[in-house]
Amino acid sequence: MKIKYFAWIKDITNNEAEEINSEKINNLDQLKTFIIKKYPDLKKHFDKEVLRFAVNHEYIIENINLDTNDEIAIFPPVSGG
């Protein structure tokens, strides 16, 4: 699956995007655990539930099953006027 990072999240990961190929990641919660282990500096943001997720261009607010062909975007809350 392809993971895309936006705004200051890509500064923490030093990546705009990456491919993750793991048979252990079958849902969004497992992906979050994987990302926290890989990028521990994101843990506090996951704990505060400030990060937003989109799977295949649709916002997701609950744990869903993921497919190896999915594209997941992770971004901070959007604000503006």
Give all strands of the β-sheet with 58-60 in edge-to-edge order. Answer: 17-19, 2-5, 71-75, 52-55, 58-60
pLDDT of residue 81: 52
Pairwise CA distance, residues 46 & 49, whole Å: 5
For the record, the structure tokens of 20 come out as: 């993750």
Position 51 scores a pLDDT of 92
Cβ proximity of 3 and 72 under 8 Å: yes
pTM comes to: 0.90
pLDDT of residue 23: 86
Quote the pLDDT of residue 48: 87
Domain ranges of the chain: 2-75
Q: What is the pLDDT along the chain (81 residues), one digit of tens a residue?
A: 999 999 999 999 999 999 998 888 999 999 999 999 999 999 999 888 889 999 999 999 899 999 999 999 999 987 655
**CATH for 2-75?**
3.10.20.30
pLDDT of residue 34: 95
